[in-house]
Structure 1
């Protein structure tokens, strides 16, 4: 007959993790990491959080004058600065979460080698940090859109939230995948820089989707629409820009269907990223 003390002495495999389930099971630790990184970002800064609002406002002025006025995009695309700023805001969220997630394990090598905690914590926290940094930019876009006559609706709010969800899932999955690879092969970080550079042009941020539809065959345009970034950017445009421009602004046909596909693709990438991460996790302490 086993006693209570003997049951307490049962040994468990050290370092055993349930992956992302353990990360969200340790929400307090996750919040501490996010809070620390956000505070470090503005440490020693006079303006502090105000920089998060100054940057998108300056971007708006630059876009309006340089691209909108001098290059004539204000005449081609109504409310073009809002269109452009909305697209850049959502892509910046993706690029920051993906890039920081890729570097997160290497940047926290000392902590990983000293104590055990779910290593997925670092790419996930990178996504939340990027989300916190994106909030002021999103608020600036919303305020500017309200100034120009934007009226929020249930559908527009749903589009904005779904866009953010797609980016969060996609960036986390890619952060897990490339973050794990980057521990052994530091070339992954340079490869990610190329991906983030191309992300701006792989989705309708600087241009409208009609330009792609006019220039490429139908099957290539379908592949373009299957890109989760395309769906996320167009959802953001639908939420903030389309109500301002009902005459000229047209969303990609079947936007919601392709948004669902984009979310499904992002979830598949998250599953693959988690699987590769778990496969390579045993070598992290050694390779770091």
Structure 2
């Protein structure tokens, strides 16, 4: 934390660079942060709403509340994974706290998430979904996901330095996680014998928390918050420990 504070100017510049790089030479620029999840939601909603119209009321909002959180996690961890390798030239020239790079990628994905929120607001307005007071606290699960991504991002970044196949393996893992997260289907339709797979998926707890506040308009229980906090502590502990054990040897492999 001390090094992050000391190098905060560099961290801010790295976040700015990532955002500029993503939208370079794009006509609509940052508007795509809102349009991408919005158009994806429209396509999936048209395909699946007829199947779940009796089980899920206001399906577009249900879908988007899950999709936005999962996309945030997916983008943050995917970009953090290659952050050390992509900044190899800078790491070889000057001393920079190496954990700055995956953290910057996660933060830039957080900015993209914020830019995508108008799409959710637009869908809520179009579908005339009820807006209740708990939505005010919906930033809490977003912060939970942010810190969870810090831990996962540090772990992936350190592993990928030594094991480049992680780029391909993680793509497969993300696909599996997406299907094990109730993004476009209700959790109730999952057979009891497979529910343990849902419960083992950390993203389920973050999606449920965000969806409770935005879609259902209810305050999550203390147990739901504690589950998320426990997952965050584990991910940060593993990520920081693995990263610190290997960071001195990164320069030999990048």
Taking structure 1 as the reference length, the TM-score comes to 0.81
Taking structure 2 as the reference length, the TM-score comes to 0.91
Please name the residue that 1:57 is paired with: 38
Please report the RMSD computed on the Cα atoms of aligned residues, expressed in angstroms: 2.1
Aligned to 2:61, the other structure's residue is in SS state helix
| 1:71-220 map, 5 Å | 71-147=50-126, 148-153=128-133, 155-158=134-137, 160-212=138-190, 215-217=191-193
The answer to whether structure 1 residue 280 and structure 2 residue 246 are counterparts is yes
Tell me: CA distance 1:64–1:203, structure 2 relative to 1, closer, same or farther (3 Å): closer
Please name the residue that 1:6 is paired with: none
CA contact (8 A) 2:58 2:129 kept: no
Tell me: CA distance 1:146–1:225, structure 2 relative to 1, closer, same or farther (3 Å): farther
CA contact (8 A) 2:161 2:253 kept: yes
Query: Equivalents in 2 of 1:94, 1:162: separation in Å?
Result: 15
Offset of residue 21 of structure 1: 3.4
CA contact (8 A) 2:55 2:186 kept: no
Q: Deviations over 1:109-158 (max 9, x none)?
A: 111111111100011011111111111222211232244133241x3332
Query: Equivalents in 2 of 1:85, 1:238: separation in Å?
Result: 13
1:239 to 213, 216, 224: 213
Could you tell me which runs of 5 or more consecutive residues in structure 2 were left unpaired when the two chains were aligned: none
The answer to whether structure 1 residue 268 and structure 2 residue 234 are counterparts is yes
Query: Equivalents in 2 of 1:178, 1:88: separation in Å?
Result: 22
Please name the residue that 1:4 is paired with: none
Query: Equivalents in 1 of 2:157, 2:235: separation in Å?
Result: 13
Could you tell me which runs of 5 or more consecutive residues in structure 1 were left unpaired when the two chains were aligned: 1-19
Offset of residue 223 of structure 1: 6.8
